[in-house]
Structure 1
Amino acid sequence: MSLPETMQLSLGPVLFYWTRERYADFYREAADWPVEIVYLGESVCSRRRDMKLDDWLGLGRELTQSGKQVVLSSQTLIESEADLRDLRRLCDNGEFRIEANDQSALQRLSAARLPFVAGAALNLYNPATIAVMARAGMQRWHAPVEMSRNDLARLLADCRSEGLDQPCEVFAHGHLPLAWSSRCFTARHHRKPKDRCQFVCRQHPEGLALRSQESKEVFTLNGIQTLSGACQDLRHEVSDMAGMGVGVARLSPRAEGMAGVVAAFDAARRGELSAPDPLALVEAEICDGYWHARPGMDNSRATTAP
């Protein structure tokens, strides 16, 4: 059965540090993928300066010509006046909507009366907060990544009852962004100071796995950002997500296998996904625990698969 046309797919910002050539190749391919929304920009670390704002704007124009809705993501952890200057330039770009990932971006955008997308890091948990954000110019909001399916369903129902119709976005595939720190854990792993890191995170285009003594991947280190060790995969929940009112499923870019991820979610929203199976779309452990109100690293299908 076909799902509502309002269910869209988005490609989140690249969280890892890639070369300019890899970015160009990735978005050249993404222009032909069945995603409606593409987020661009550096949302993790201000030291990753290879891609300037003009470079992101150039990519945005090319993707717009391919029919994509482009959004520029702001940095999640602002640490300096230089970061604020870059943020002001981003918010004042004059072409593309911004995903606000911290209060600095929110203040800048609301003061300028510019429409924006509220990122997951803003932690929107109740209709009262969503109403405040809507009055400030919010056009779409991303649910907190740890919010369960049932809690989100109640929140969406409450929003509808209060006349709040801004679309909700859910992190449907990728390593879950969990925390940000003023420390750079990747640099520390390589025994380098943060301000002389030599950009060692580029050696890990899909992050650096942090394993427990039992060799289980607990976290993925990505510079100052900590991600889940396992990769969230909600492809078999897409029908339910659409039914409860989720407007957008976000897919977080990976260096390898992303075309297959997009194809699987596109099939899922069209009701053409094959029967549930435990196979991963990418070479990583799978999780969906938060969605099912369980520990985030749990995989519900690992226990139910034949």
Structure 2
Amino acid sequence: MAPTQYSQPERFRIALGPLLYYWPHATVLSFYAGIADSPVDRVYLGETVCTRRHEMRFAHWIEIAQMLREAGKQVVLSTPVLVESDTDIAVMRKICTQGDFLVEANDLGAVRCMERRPFIGGPHLNVYHADTLAWLAELGAVGCTVPVEMDGPTMLALSAARPAGVAVEAMVWGRMPLAFSARCFTARHFRLRKDACEFRCEGYPDGLVASTGEGQAFFTLNGIQTQSATCLDLCAEVSAMADGGIDYMRVSPHASGTGEAIAHLDEIRRAQRPASPSPVMPADATPSNGYWSGRPGIGWVAEEAGT
């Protein structure tokens, strides 16, 4: 009998990364109410980009966390990525010192703040080597999300060399977070100061796409964060990832397409369809998967995607 091309049921779990955009309070509540009924296993919550955003306070995230936990989800609270002010430090400490939910540490200050209690290393810790992952495990890491620009062979080699008890997670769908800056790019676009930004990023629920002089969509501006203009789509590679020991496949929240991408991954893991590219992208985004094969991340490599 020929081997099946389908992945086996429950060979991996689905994670929903933290919301990277600035959405109105009611929109956030509605979004996560839908996630409660979705096949997602793990949900990351919290403001990781800009602590000036005020629609969602810490108490609001805790309320959502409790709701999702009651719905059977594992909830992880994410710390800010770029910690540069007293406010950022206060937010980080509040997340790290609460004892009800696991923490995603997105910078080394948060790792230190955890004081060897269990945490998940976020993708911005830039773990490229097994020795780094082993060091984090000694400090309390029980999981780690690999950087988005890591190629497939390196990712699977890292997975094979990980310490016992450490889960590995990889982002497989969504605009890729590439860099952070002390400057707010969205405010600068509107000729505003960072501390008087008028919260313009709230008008762009999937970020503000910036194009080259030739008109090619190149980056997405999201406050102090720079993202890809394309949408990462590694859904065709999740069987290879699962075979290599990747435990969680991460989807990044977007204003459109998120639920469909989650459902697509769920059908793959339950053997209802072969591993294949996602049928949906966020609005105005084209797919990319170049990093997986060690090529420019902006590109779409059809043979690597099984098409």
TM-score tier (shorter): over 0.9
Equivalent-residue separation in structure 2 for 1:256 and 1:214 (angstroms): 27
- Structure 2, unmatched stretches of 5+, are 1-5
1:185-227 deviations in Å (ceiling 9; x for gaps)? 0001111110000100000000000111222111100000000
The residue aligned with 2:167 is 167
1:155 aligns with 2:161: no
1:3 aligns with 2:4: no
Equivalent-residue separation in structure 2 for 1:124 and 1:75 (angstroms): 17
Q: Give the Å deviation of 1:305.
A: 8.4
Equivalent-residue separation in structure 1 for 2:90 and 2:161 (angstroms): 38
The residue aligned with 1:299 is 300
The residue aligned with 1:210 is 210
Q: 1:198 to 1:302 in 2, by over 3 A?
A: farther
Answer yes or no: is the 8 Å Cα contact 2:16–2:40 preserved in 1: yes
TM-score, normalising length from structure 1?
0.94
Match of 2:144 among 137, 141, 144: 141
Q: Give the Å deviation of 1:277.
A: 6.0
Equivalent-residue separation in structure 1 for 2:98 and 2:37 (angstroms): 25
Q: Give the Å deviation of 1:256.
A: 1.5
Equivalent-residue separation in structure 2 for 1:101 and 1:278 (angstroms): 27
Answer yes or no: is the 8 Å Cα contact 2:268–2:275 preserved in 1: no
1:290 aligns with 2:304: no
The residue aligned with 1:32 is 37
Answer yes or no: is the 8 Å Cα contact 2:255–2:282 preserved in 1: no
The residue aligned with 1:235 is 235
TM-score, normalising length from structure 2?
0.93
1:18 aligns with 2:19: no
1:214-272 deviations in Å (ceiling 9; x for gaps)? 22111100000000110001111111110011000000000112211111111122232
Equivalent-residue separation in structure 1 for 2:202 and 2:112 (angstroms): 32
Answer yes or no: is the 8 Å Cα contact 1:46–1:75 preserved in 2: yes
The residue aligned with 1:74 is 79
The residue aligned with 2:187 is 187
Q: Give the Å deviation of 1:301.
A: 2.2
- Match of 1:298, as an amino acid? G
The residue aligned with 1:273 is 273
Q: What SS is found at the alignment partner of 1:175?
A: strand
Equivalent-residue separation in structure 2 for 1:275 and 1:142 (angstroms): 21
Q: What SS is found at the alignment partner of 2:30?
A: helix
Equivalent-residue separation in structure 2 for 1:96 and 1:304 (angstroms): 36
- Match of 1:232, as an amino acid? L
Most deviating of 57-66 and 86-95: 86-95
Answer yes or no: is the 8 Å Cα contact 2:233–2:278 preserved in 1: no
Answer yes or no: is the 8 Å Cα contact 2:209–2:219 preserved in 1: yes
Q: Give the Å deviation of 1:6.
A: 4.8
1:171-196 deviations in Å (ceiling 9; x for gaps)? 11000000000000000111111000
Answer yes or no: is the 8 Å Cα contact 2:277–2:305 preserved in 1: no
Most deviating of 256-265 and 168-177: 256-265
Q: Give the Å deviation of 1:80.
A: 0.8
Most deviating of 123-132 and 266-275: 266-275
- Match of 2:30, as an amino acid? D
Q: 1:57 to 1:305 in 2, by over 3 A?
A: closer
Match of 2:53 among 48, 51, 57: 48
Q: Give the Å deviation of 1:19.
A: 0.5
Aligned residues: 301
Q: Give the Å deviation of 1:4.
A: 5.9
- Match of 1:67, as an amino acid? G
Q: Give the Å deviation of 1:97.
A: 0.9
Most deviating of 281-290 and 23-32: 281-290
The residue aligned with 1:97 is 102
The residue aligned with 1:88 is 93
Q: 1:305 to 1:247 in 2, by over 3 A?
A: closer
- Match of 1:44, as an amino acid? V
The residue aligned with 2:120 is 117
- Structure 1, unmatched stretches of 5+, are none
Q: What SS is found at the alignment partner of 1:210?
A: strand
Most deviating of 87-96 and 55-64: 87-96
